[in-house]
């Protein structure tokens, strides 16, 4: 007896057997139950999500010999013939191979005739967007006012190519891509029914490779059974899909936690022996980092088939939350830039070097903390951020005195310019004025107009930068108050304003400009002046 592919053998024959698409099934079931079935339906969505399957089940519901309803019997002659593809009143048309207007006219010539056996004559037109413009024009009038015994079921993967006149005459249902978990659960059901043992990790890999398509997932499962000699194992699935071993991805994440460029490059060299797709490696690393971030934020998170909770807990303790976010962002940007690299391996190695070299807090290790943490209190309350910086033992005592001298009213502006700060943290420092230093505590005031900059994260970064600059541990306290002296930001703005004033005065005194004013009544637009 010939073998039937899993995708065909396990094709749903009733609405209850469908995976996902509940929004479509509910609407169709209610319409059938209340006998309010529209004459034209359009099912859209990517390949393998159930467009044609739903259309065939709907044809059975309309023509079942036990009566029209959302639950066809599946045993009468009509239901069996629809399942076998030989029901005379279900006319299936592949629009991709019948695009000419003559084909459409020939098809529509028989619309007026009553169904031979069923209650309705059902036209199922697949890939309807492939019809020509003339074919659509020939279809329009019949689609708008068909005989009462005719139903049109249209399916397409590209609804944007359909004329608006066609769309307006149909009830449109957009079928969603199926999630990885939905595809995996369906494949497990199929394997159990077939009596085939499997490894959950292998099923998960195939479900991810299906890319939202149930049909593709079952086809890949068929391929894996052939490749593995009837086994559904993780090793065979990775070999067939050419994906990197998860042990290697775990090792890569551990090396990132250690931030050792030498070890990372040795790992990249050993990985090259397997000739991997480096884009897939970065994808797998990004997925793992997301799972680790979830474990840090939600300690109760249990992972999935590919990411056991004990491994996630190990990495969550080894990599700080800030470094984790940085590595994830670097991985996805490196994945995007692989096409522009001299070769994929070079792009992969540079991405790893970025992760190891450019770490937050100057490379210091900080312990992970739950998301949403920070210093509580009212916005006007004094906010103190204490940070332990990586001290330089050889020069700590020598630099402590110089740092204390630098942190005074006169030296604050110059000090802000030399700090390793960027973005909002630099804005915070520039809008602060130095008040006093009391041992390891640096007290600052912040312009109330810049109150939004007063956050625990930005004050922490400022404290870290001051600690690195001085070589000792410093704390920063920021209060909202009028600055006793000019802040670096105001000093910089004052210099800019002076430059603009000087440029405007220079233009006003220019003989050519004076001549234009006197002869033509010209005016000088001061806001357009730019100093050199």
* Each residue's pLDDT tens digit, 326-366: 899 999 999 998 888 888 889 999 999 888 877 644 444 43
Domain end (from 174, 194, 212):
174
Work out whether strand 383-386 and strand 150-156 pair parallel, antiparallel, or are unpaired. unpaired
Would you say 253 and 312 are in contact if contact means Cβ atoms under 8 Å apart? no
What would the two tokens of residue 396 be?
């700590």
- The span from the CA of 25 to the CA of 18, in Å, is 9
Q: Which pLDDT value is given to residue 531? A: 62
- CB under 8 Å to 353, separation ≥6 — which residues? 261, 264, 265
Residues in the chain: 532
Would you say 196 and 225 are in contact if contact means Cβ atoms under 8 Å apart? yes
- The span from the CA of 100 to the CA of 104, in Å, is 7
* Domain match, 253 and 278 both: yes
* Domain match, 193 and 158 both: no
- The span from the CA of 531 to the CA of 194, in Å, is 79
Residue 369 lies in a domain: no
* Domain match, 85 and 147 both: yes
3-state secondary structure of 210: coil
Q: By mean pLDDT, which of 57-61, 95-99, 334-338, 426-430 is the weakest?
A: 95-99
* Domain match, 144 and 204 both: no
Residue 372 lies in a domain: no
pLDDT band at 502 (very low <50, low <70, confident <90, very high): confident
Domain end (from 470, 485, 500):
485
**CATH code (residue 19):** 3.40.50.300
Domain end (from 150, 174, 198):
174
Tell how far CA 496 is from the center of its chain: 42
pLDDT band at 61 (very low <50, low <70, confident <90, very high): very high
* Domain match, 217 and 131 both: no
Residue 76 lies in a domain: yes
pLDDT band at 109 (very low <50, low <70, confident <90, very high): confident
Q: Identify the residue with better confidence: 378 or 265.
A: 265
What would the two tokens of residue 219 be?
């086809």
Would you say 176 and 49 are in contact if contact means Cβ atoms under 8 Å apart? yes
Q: Which pLDDT value is given to residue 33? A: 92
* Domain match, 101 and 156 both: yes
Q: By mean pLDDT, which of 383-397, 455-469, 483-497, 500-514 is the weakest?
A: 383-397
The number of distinct structural domains making up the chain is: 5
Q: Which pLDDT value is given to residue 137? A: 86
- The span from the CA of 230 to the CA of 198, in Å, is 10
Is the confidence at residue 150, as pLDDT, over 90? yes
Q: Which pLDDT value is given to residue 530? A: 63
Residue 376 lies in a domain: no
Residue 370 lies in a domain: no
**Averaged pLDDT score across all residues of the chain:** 82
- The span from the CA of 207 to the CA of 487, in Å, is 58
* Domain match, 228 and 254 both: no
Q: Which pLDDT value is given to residue 77? A: 93
* Domain match, 329 and 415 both: no
**CATH code (residue 424):** 3.30.300.150
pLDDT band at 398 (very low <50, low <70, confident <90, very high): very low
Percent above pLDDT 90 for the chain: 33
Would you say 234 and 209 are in contact if contact means Cβ atoms under 8 Å apart? no
pLDDT band at 215 (very low <50, low <70, confident <90, very high): very high
**Tens digits of per-residue pLDDT, 284-312?**
899 999 999 998 988 888 888 788 888 88
Q: Which pLDDT value is given to residue 385? A: 37
Would you say 295 and 342 are in contact if contact means Cβ atoms under 8 Å apart? no
Q: Which pLDDT value is given to residue 492? A: 79
* Domain match, 14 and 75 both: yes
Residue 391 lies in a domain: yes
Domain coverage including residue 412 = 383-485
* Domain match, 38 and 168 both: yes
Residue 375 lies in a domain: no
Residue 334 lies in a domain: yes
Per-residue pLDDT, averaged over 132-152, amounts to 88
Q: Identify the residue with better confidence: 45 or 392.
A: 45
CA separation (Å) from 164 to 91, 466, 486? 24, 63, 64
* Domain match, 134 and 189 both: no
* Domain match, 431 and 502 both: no
Q: Identify the residue with better confidence: 503 or 456.
A: 456
**CA dihedral defined by 489, 495, 496, 497, rounded to 10 degrees?**
110
Residue of 376, 373, 377 lying closest to 297 (CA atoms): 373
Is the confidence at residue 93, as pLDDT, over 50? yes
Q: By mean pLDDT, which of 201-210, 349-358, 367-376, 416-425 is the weakest?
A: 367-376
């Amino acid at each position: 007896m010939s073998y039937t592919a899993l995708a065909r053998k396990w094709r749903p024959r009733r609405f209850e057997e469908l995976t996902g698409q509940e929004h479509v099934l509910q609407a169709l079931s209610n319409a059938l139950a209340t006998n309010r079935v529209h004459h034209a339906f359009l099912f859209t969505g990517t390949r393998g999500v159930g467009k044609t399957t739903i259309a065939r089940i709907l044809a059975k519901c309309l023509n079942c010999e036990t009566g029209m309803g959302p639950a066809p019997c599946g045993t009468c002659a009509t239901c069996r013939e629809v399942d076998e593809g030989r029901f005379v009143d279900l006319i299936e048309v592949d629009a991709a191979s019948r695009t000419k207007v003559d084909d459409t006219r020939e098809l529509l010539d028989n619309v007026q005739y009553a169904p031979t056996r069923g209650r309705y004559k059902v036209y199922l037109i697949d890939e309807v967007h492939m019809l020509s413009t003339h074919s659509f024009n020939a279809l329009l009038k019949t689609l708008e006012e068909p005989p009462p015994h005719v139903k049109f079921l249209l399916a397409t993967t590209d609804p944007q190519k359909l004329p608006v006149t066609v769309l307006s005459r149909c009830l449109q249902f957009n079928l969603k891509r199926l999630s990885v978990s939905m595809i995996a659960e369906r494949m497990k059901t199929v394997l159990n029914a077939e009596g085939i043992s499997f490894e959950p990790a292998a099923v998960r890999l195939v479900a991810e490779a299906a890319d939202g398509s149930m049909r593709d997932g079952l086809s890949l499962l068929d391929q894996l059974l052939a490749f593995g000699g009837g086994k559904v194992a993780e090793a065979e699935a990775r070999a067939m899909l050419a994906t990197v071993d998860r042990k290697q991805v775990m090792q890569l994440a551990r090396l990132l936690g250690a931030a050792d460029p030498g070890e990372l490059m040795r790992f990249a060299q050993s990985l090259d022996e397997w000739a991997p797709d480096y884009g897939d490696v970065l994808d797998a690393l990004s997925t793992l980092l997301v799972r680790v971030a979830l474990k840090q934020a939600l300690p109760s998170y249990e992972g999935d088939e590919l990411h056991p909770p004990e491994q996630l807990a190990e990495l969550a303790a080894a990599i700080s939350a800030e470094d984790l976010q940085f590595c994830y962002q670097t991985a996805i940007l490196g994945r995007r830039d692989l096409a522009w690299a001299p070769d994929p391996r070079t792009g992969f190695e540079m991405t790893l070097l970025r992760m190891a070299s450019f770490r937050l807090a100057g490379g210091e290790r900080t312990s992970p903390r739950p998301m949403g943490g920070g210093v509580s209190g009212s916005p006007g309350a004094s906010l103190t951020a204490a940070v332990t910086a990586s001290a330089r033992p050889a020069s700590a005592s020598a630099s402590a005195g110089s740092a204390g001298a630098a942190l005074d009213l006169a030296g604050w502006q110059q000090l802000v310019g030399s700090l390793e700060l960027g973005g909002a943290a630099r804005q915070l420092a520039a809008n602060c004025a130095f008040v006093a230093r009391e041992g390891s505590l640096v007290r600052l005031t912040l312009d109330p107009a810049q109150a939004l900059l007063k956050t625990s994260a930005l004050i922490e970064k400022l404290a870290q930068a001051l600690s690195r600059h001085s070589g000792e541990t410093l704390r920063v306290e920021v209060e909202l108050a009028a600055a006793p002296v000019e802040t670096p930001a105001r000093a910089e703005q004052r210099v800019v304003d002076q430059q603009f004033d000087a440029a405007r005065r220079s233009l006003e005194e220019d003989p050519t400009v004076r001549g234009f004013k006197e002869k033509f009544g010209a005016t000088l637009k001061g806001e357009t002046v730019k100093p050199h």
